[in-house]
Amino acid sequence: MSAPTTDQRILVGIDGSESSMEALRLAARLAEALDAPLEAIACAGDPTVLDAELLVDEEALRANHERILARTVAAVFGEDVPDRLTTTVTHGRPAGRLITESENAQLLVLGRRGRGGLLGSALGSVSHACISYAHCPVLVVRH
């Protein structure tokens, strides 16, 4: 059997929220069922999860997102991290980076941040952009 190519991977966006944790849980189950590699990606540059002082320091920005990604993986899997899981921190606007990364994925999984009521029924801007422009199917997971 040949090694899987990157276009067979399942990509999941991580922002540290409960919904992204749920997305990672589901993506891991799908990756196992499909015998596909799983990649969790955090996009440094998202001002909604950063402190203002981190916006000017790229090293701190990357380190912050590496911590978010590590905490999320630990919270979801504990010590049972899937063998085929890779983690990546990339720089840029989340929607744009995820859309670009989706070119080499069979599925993009995202968590949906809802506010409840009427506002909660709408998708966030990242989910909406990815659904509209991703190069692979997109699954938005509701927490």
Q: What is the pLDDT of residues 80-127, one digit of tens each?
A: 999 999 999 998 889 999 999 999 999 999 998 755 444 445 568 899
Closest CA to 62 of 42, 82, 85: 42
In the prediction, which pLDDT does 13 show?
A: 96
d(CA 106, CA 15): 21
Confidence of residue 60 (pLDDT cuts 50, 70, 90): confident
In the prediction, which pLDDT does 26 show?
A: 98
Domains of the chain, earliest start first: 6-142 (3.40.50.620)
Average pLDDT over residues 10-35: 96
Q: What is the pTM of this model?
A: 0.84
In the prediction, which pLDDT does 117 show?
A: 47
Residue predicted with more confidence, 120 or 11? 11
Compute the 3-state secondary structure of the chain and give helix, strand, coil in percent, each to the nearest 5.
50, 20, 30
d(CA 109, CA 20): 9
* pLDDT > 70? residue 48: no
